[in-house]
């Protein structure tokens, strides 16, 4: 049985637990500029502190320790440290040339940790989701209020950057590709196009049911309007990305669990795929910090579970291993959302 088949089997049996925030955990290490520099980057002219993806090259020990901390408390799926792992995002640091290497090494580190924990818990195999972030540019909205027709990036540029990222993630051993924190669906469509292209070139089936690499999609509802930054409702977002056989569709970031609930309900009632959610630890305070503790978050998430809305559950900004441990405990009391109910209602 290949890893995709194992994942699909696990998903039918229980709610799968995704890890929590990477950035929140990195902040605990109080790293300085030198920690972000490999020997080759000793004389790099730009400041590199804050380029967290680069730590997979300069401090792989830190990244692996963070993965281990999440696996230790029950995470089934850990995300690679590649949220900004495209040439487009790395251009801010003048490090476009390292994009492939960042993705490859990040996936390799995560896979090592996942396999170590899989060996410790044979009944709970662990998986690596290659994280594909939104980039820091949007294909649908002009960054210049005086020129609404202007775009800082094209679809083709995004697709090219995503293609390189996906190649690196797969070569490094990712079991899943996760396109996350989608604020612009056109960016996500470029990522999906790149994934299709890479899969086709590698002879990989697009449908995980045929043994292909599962693809997860996770959008971001940016505020109380209930829309993505590019203006789509949850239902419109679902329709826009439903043209390929996804493993899951879901929501992450921007909102806490309580605020995310009505939008998750839309997905749970309409999606022909599994549904994922990894909310922030509440809403940020006036200093931009997240105060919601693990108990409060798990209490709010329990509503999703009671209503049978969720298949994959984790945490985004502000969440730590304590939050994931609490989510893992509460999720173990409930079954996963049943896909059969959606299929039956469509007939």
Radius of gyration of the chain (CA): 19
312 within 8 A of 248, measured Cβ to Cβ: yes
Structure tokens at 105: 């090494």
Residue pair 334/305 in contact (Cβ under 8 Å)? The answer is yes
DSSP state letters, 290-314: B---HHHHHHHHHHHHHTT--SEE-
* CA distance linking residue 19 with residue 47, whole number of Å: 29
147 is in an annotated binding site: no
Q: Kindly give, in sequence order, each residue whose CB lies less than 8 Å from that of residue 280, ignoring residues fewer than 6 positions away.
A: 253, 254, 255, 256, 290, 292, 315, 316, 317, 318, 319
316 a known binding residue? Answer: yes
With tokens 């697009």, the residue in question is 206
Is 26 annotated in a binding site? The answer is no
Q: Give me 113's structure tokens.
A: 């940790």
Indicate the annotated binding residues: 253, 316-317
Indicate the annotated binding residues for Zn(2+): 253, 316-317
């Amino acid at each position: 049985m290949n890893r995709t088949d194992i994942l699909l089997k696990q998903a039918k049996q229980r709610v799968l637990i995704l890890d929590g925030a990477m950035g929140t955990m990195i902040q605990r290490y109080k790293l300085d500029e030198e920690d972000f520099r490999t020997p080759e980057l000793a004389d790099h002219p730009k400041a590199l502190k804050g380029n967290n993806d680069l730590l997979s090259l300069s401090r792989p020990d830190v990244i692996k320790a963070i993965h281990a901390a999440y696996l230790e408390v029950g995470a089934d799926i850990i995300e690679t440290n590649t949220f900004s792992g495209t040439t487009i995002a790395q251009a801010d640091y003048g490090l476009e040339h390292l994009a492939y290497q960042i993705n490859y090494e990040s996936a390799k580190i995560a896979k090592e940790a996942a396999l170590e924990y899989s060996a410790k818990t044979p009944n709970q195999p662990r998986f690596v989701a290659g994280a594909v972030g939104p980039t820091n540019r949007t294909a649908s909205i002009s960054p210049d209020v005086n020129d609404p027709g202007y775009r800082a990036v094209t679809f083709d540029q995004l697709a090219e950057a995503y293609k390189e990222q996906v190649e690196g993630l797969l070569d490094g051993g990712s079991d899943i590709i996760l396109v996350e924190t989608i604020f612009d669906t056109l960016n996500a469509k470029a990522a999906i196009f790149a994934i299709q292209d890479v899969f086709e070139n590698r002879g990989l089936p697009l449908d995980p049911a045929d043994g292909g690499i599962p693809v997860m999609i996770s959008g971001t509802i940016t505020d109380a309007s209930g829309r993505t930054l590019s203006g789509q409702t949850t239902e419109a977002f679902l329709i826009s990305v439903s043209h390929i056989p996804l493993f899951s569709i879901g929501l992450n970031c921007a909102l806490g669990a309580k605020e995310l609930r009505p939008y998750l309900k839309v997905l749970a009632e309409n999606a022909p795929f599994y549904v994922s959610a990894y909310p922030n630890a509440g809403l940020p305070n006036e200093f931009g910090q997240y105060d919601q503790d693990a108990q409060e978050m798990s209490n709010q998430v329990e509503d999703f579970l009671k209503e049978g809305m969720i298949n994959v559950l984790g945490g985004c900004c502000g969440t730590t291993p304590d939050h994931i441990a609490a989510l893992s405990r509460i999720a173990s009391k409930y079954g996963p959302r049943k896909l059969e109910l959606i299929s039956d209602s469509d007939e």
